[in-house]
Each structure stands twice: as C-alpha cells, then as structure tokens.
C-alpha cells in the first residue's frame, strides 16, 4: 500500500513537472513568435497561425493563464515532494524537498523548455496554440479576477496601463528591423537602402531631391518653331517647360510626343506650328511637399512632371515621378540619359564627388549617415557647416568625413574629395 502511494505521488510530481515545462515553453514561444510570420501564414490558410494571432490579440489573458497555471503546478509539485520527504526524513525533508524541487524545476521545467522554445519560437507556437486555447477559457474567471486586482493596484500607485502609442512608433520599429537586415553582400546593402528609402518618403521634401532650375532645360516660347523643334530633338528629356519673357514665367509643359504628332499632321510646315498651344498647363507645387504626398498626387493626376516653387512663388526646379522612384530603387538610366554619376572612387580609397551631388545619394551609395536636414547637396553641407565660401584646396572635417574642395566655379563648389575618417 505504501509503495503504491509512493509511486502515485512520484508519478504525479513527474506529470506536474511536464506540465510546468509545457507552460514555460508555451510562454516563451507565444510571446516571442513573429507576428509578421504568423500573419503571412494565416493569409495562406494556416489555421494554427490564425489561432496564434488570436492569442496575440488577447496577450494579457494569455500571460495571466500561463502564469497561474505554471505557478499552480509548481507549487503543487513542491507540496507533494515536501510531504513525501517529510514522511521519509522528518523535518529535514523540507530542506531536501526545497533543494531537489529547485533543481528539477529550474533545470527541467524552466531552462530546457524555454531554451528550446527560444530557438524554435514560431514552430513551437504553432504546435502549442491549440492546447493552450481551452486552458485560457478554463482559467478565464481567475485571469479576469487577477487582472482586475492588478489594475486596481496600479491605480493606487498612479500607474497607467495600456499605452497604445507605445514607447516607439511602428515606423521606428520597422527601421530597427531593417537595420537588423545585415550582410556584406551587395544585394543585401541595396535591399536595406531601398527599405530605408520607402520609410523616408513620408519625411523627405521634394526640395531635397528636385532638379535645380540651374540645370533644368527650358525653352523660350517666343523662339522660332524650327529652333524649338531642334532644341526638343537635341534634348534627352521628353517634357520641357516653356517660358515667355522671363524664365520664372512658365506658361506650359511641352511633351515631345505632342510635338512629333503635330509634325506628322503638318509635314514640312514647321513654321505654322503654334508651340504654346501644344503644351499642357504647368503644375506648380511647394518645395515643402513630402515625397509620399507627391507620389500619391502623381498617381491621382496621372502626371509625371511638376514645377517646384518656394514660398515667394519663384521657380526653384522640377521634380518628376522618376525622381521619386529613384529615391527608392536608385538611379534609373536609359539609352537616352546623359551618363553623369557624380561620384567616382579613387585608387587611394577616397571619392571625387560633384558639389551638386545630393547627400541622400551619397549616404545611400557609401552607407554613410551625413545629415541632410539643413542642406540637400554636398556643396550645400560644406557651405552650411563652414559658414563661408571656401577656397580651392581648403579642407574641412564634418561628422567624421573629410571634405577637400577641388574645384570652384565662381561661388559654386563643383568638385569635392571626400573620405571617411576612421579615428
């Protein structure tokens, strides 16, 4: 009779330790499983992933149930072991039970299952979700009671729960995940740069990526039709601003296709063409427009070209749909584009960069982190930080990067040597 009772007690303790290991591993797996992976699996029809997502939505009840269940089986197992060892060794059995159960619980019911679950969070979460769901339902009265007591206790101490905004935004969470996407392979670097750029669309203004008016090809609407046709055919761009009397007075946007269509309709009668009538109305946008908003505006208006103006209405430059897309995927070139990367690597490890080269492109290509809040180009950054118009040969050190002015045209910095300082 005594042996039967002993075996029954030992068996019960063994089962309770298995349950403790199950609850410990379940807690680690379900709290550590990837929401993104589970979301994708649910979209493919995985019922277990759907169940895991439902458990994530009620995380407070999930944690409460696991903690209550785990503590319940641990305390019960310890109580049975203590009772068993007191019967065998008297008062010394309390010490024996404490030592033995601490070792068993910590090693076999905590460390082992949690380590395995930590290494296989998604797989374990999918396996245990169907089993933990009915347990949550069974213990729901207890979890609601403990949750109520917890809330009251926190309120007494003036602590507020359920901050939906969290400590960081979802965007920052995504940025952190992107930075964890590491690797020396060129493909990985390009992917990381593209993902960063997608998140930056809502923060970067068109003034930072626009083509400055100084380099924009524009046509005088009062020029003879033959000259305008020659200028359009010689230009690598398909959309050209038309101005009259003053370059700031843009009266329309001439599309090369419209001009060719008119030439086809009136072969040999170039002089009879009314060029301004072939142009479309200009679309002006403020320089403070964010890229994401402008991208959406391009889609809604079915247009690819906009003129950027400052707060005084003066023309600053142009921005195209291709410019915004290049912010995401990098430079897009075709057979008609003029090849001018603006960045050349030298044998000594330094780089020769054009002054008009944008800081964002420099950061993207060299994986640097130069600020672009106050200046959009390399030349602009040098002017902003030095507070002067530098002479050729002058060298500056900003943000861990050495800038050496190589060429200057009047007051414009046209070429700079840059090198990252390791120390």
Cα 19 to its chain centre, rounded Å, is: 41
Taking a C-beta distance cutoff of 8 angstroms, is the pair 56, 35 a contact? Answer: yes
Taking a C-beta distance cutoff of 8 angstroms, is the pair 206, 315 a contact? Answer: no
19 pLDDT higher than 90: yes
Q: What pLDDT score was predicted for residue 34?
A: 85
Residue 309's DSSP bridge partners are 286, 315
Between residues 197 and 164, the one the model is more confident about: 197
Q: pLDDT category, 336, cuts 50, 70, 90?
A: low
- Mean pLDDT of the region 374-389: 89
- Mean pLDDT of the region 272-295: 92
- Mean pLDDT of the region 340-362: 85
Q: CA-based diameter of the chain, in Å?
A: 118
Q: What pLDDT score was predicted for residue 339?
A: 44
- Mean pLDDT of the region 405-422: 89
> Tens of pLDDT along 167-192?
456 677 777 777 776 666 777 777 77
Specify the CATH architecture of the domain 343-420. Answer: 2-Layer Sandwich (3.30)
Q: pLDDT category, 375, cuts 50, 70, 90?
A: confident
Q: How far apart are the first and last CA of the chain?
A: 79
Q: What pLDDT score was predicted for residue 177?
A: 74
- Mean pLDDT of the region 402-416: 91
Q: pLDDT category, 285, cuts 50, 70, 90?
A: very high
User: Does the pTM of the predicted model rise above 0.75?
Assistant: no
- Measured over the CA atoms of residue 7, residue 10, residue 12 and residue 14, the dihedral's sign is negative
Give dist(CA 380, CA 179) in Å, integer: 28
For the chain, the structural domain boundaries read 1-157, 168-201, 206-329, 343-420
Angle between helices 112-119 and 2-32 (to 10 degrees): 30
Taking a C-beta distance cutoff of 8 angstroms, is the pair 346, 340 a contact? Answer: no
% pLDDT > 70, the chain: 93
Q: What is the mean pLDDT of the chain?
A: 87
Between residues 413 and 364, the one the model is more confident about: 413
Q: pLDDT category, 423, cuts 50, 70, 90?
A: low
- Mean pLDDT of the region 294-310: 94
Per residue in 49-86, is it b (16+ CB within 10 Å) or e — as a string?
Answer: bbbbbebbeeeebbebbbebbbebbbeebbebbbebbe
Q: What pLDDT score was predicted for residue 338?
A: 47
**Structure token digits, residue 384:** 């902003």
Q: pLDDT category, 58, cuts 50, 70, 90?
A: confident
Burial of 380 (0-12, 13-18, 19+ CB in 10 A): middle
- Mean pLDDT of the region 235-248: 91
Q: What pLDDT score was predicted for residue 147?
A: 82
Q: What pLDDT score was predicted for residue 340?
A: 47
- Mean pLDDT of the region 19-45: 90
91 pLDDT higher than 50: yes
Most confident of 51-65, 290-304, 338-352: 290-304
Give dist(CA 6, CA 31) in Å, integer: 38
Q: What pLDDT score was predicted for residue 184?
A: 67
Q: What pLDDT score was predicted for residue 167?
A: 45
> Tens of pLDDT along 103-145?
999 999 999 999 999 999 999 999 999 999 899 888 888 888 8
Give dist(CA 389, CA 202) in Å, integer: 33
- Mean pLDDT of the region 357-373: 84
Question: What CATH number does domain 206-329 carry, 3.40.50.620, 3.40.50.10090, 3.10.580.10, 1.20.140.10?
Answer: 3.10.580.10
Annotate the chain with three-state secondary structure.
Answer: CHHHHHHHHHHHHHHHHHHHHHHHHHHHHHHHCCHHHHHHHHHCCCHHHHHHHHHHHCHHHHHHHHHHHHHHHHHHHHHHHHHHHHHHHCCHHHHHHHHHHHHHHHHHHHHHHHHHHHHCHHHHHHHHHHHHHHHHHHCHHHHHHHHHHHHHHHHHCCCCCCCCCCCCCHHHHHHHHHHCCCCCCHHHHHHHHHHHHHHHCCCCEHHHCCEEHHHCCCEECCCCHHHHHHHHHHCCCCEEEEEECEEEEEEEEEEHHHHHHHHHHCCCCHHHCCHHHHCECCCEEECCCEHHHHHHHHHHHCCCEEEEECCCCCEEEEEEHHHHHHHHHCCCCCCCCCCCCCEEECCCCCEEEECCCEHHHHHHHHCCCCCCCCCCEHHHHHHHHHCCCCCCCCEEEECCEEEEEEEEECCEEEEEEEEECCC
- Mean pLDDT of the region 332-354: 74
242 pLDDT higher than 90: yes
């Amino acid at each position: 009779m005594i042996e039967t009772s002993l075996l029954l007690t030992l068996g019960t303790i063994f089962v309770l330790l298995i349950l403790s290991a199950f609850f410990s591993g379940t807690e680690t797996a379900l709290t550590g499983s990837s929401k993104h992976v589970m979301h994708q699996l649910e979209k493919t029809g995985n019922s277990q992933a759907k169940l895991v997502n439902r458990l994530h939505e009620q995380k407070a009840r999930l944690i409460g149930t696991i903690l209550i269940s785990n503590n319940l089986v641990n305390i019960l197992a310890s109580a049975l072991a203590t009772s068993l060892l007191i019967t065998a060794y008297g008062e010394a059995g309390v010490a024996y039970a404490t030592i033995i159960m601490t070792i068993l619980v910590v090693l076999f019911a905590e460390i082992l299952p949690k380590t395995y679950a930590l290494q296989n969070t998604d797989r374990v979460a999918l396996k245990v979700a169907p089993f933990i769901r009915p347990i949550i339902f069974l213990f729901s009265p207890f979890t609601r009671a403990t949750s109520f007591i917890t809330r009251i206790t926190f309120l007494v101490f003036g602590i507020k729960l359920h901050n939906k905004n969290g400590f960081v935004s979802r965007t920052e969470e995504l940025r952190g995940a992107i930075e964890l996407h590491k690797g020396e392979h060129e493909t990985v670097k390009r992917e990381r740069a593209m993902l960063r750029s997608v998140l930056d669309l809502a923060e970067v203004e068109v003034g930072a990526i626009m083509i400055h008016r100084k380099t924009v090809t524009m046509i005088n609407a009062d020029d003879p039709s033959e000259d305008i046709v020659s200028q359009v055919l010689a230009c690598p761009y398909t959309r050209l601003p038309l101005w009259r009397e003053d370059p700031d007075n843009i009266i329309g946007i001439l599309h090369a296709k419209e001009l060719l269509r008119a030439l086809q309709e009136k072969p040999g009668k170039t002089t009879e063409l009314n060029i301004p009538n072939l142009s479309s109305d200009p679309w002006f946008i403020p320089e403070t427009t964010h890229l994401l908003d402008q991208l959406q505006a391009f889609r809604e208006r079915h247009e690819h070209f906009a003129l950027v103006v400052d707060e005084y209405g003066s023309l600053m430059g142009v921005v195209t749909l291709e410019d915004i897309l290049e912010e995401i995927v990098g430079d897009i070139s075709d057979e008609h584009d003029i090849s001018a990367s603006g960045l050349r690597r030298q044998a000594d490890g330094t780089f020769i960069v054009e002054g008009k080269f944008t800081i964002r492109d420099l950061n993207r290509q060299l994986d640097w982190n130069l600020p672009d809040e106050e200046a959009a180009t390399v030349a602009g950054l040098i002017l902003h930080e030095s507070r002067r118009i530098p002479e050729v040969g002058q060298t500056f050190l900003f943000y861990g990067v050495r800038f050496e002015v190589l060429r200057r045209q009047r007051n414009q910095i046209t070429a700079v040597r840059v090198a990252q300082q390791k120390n």
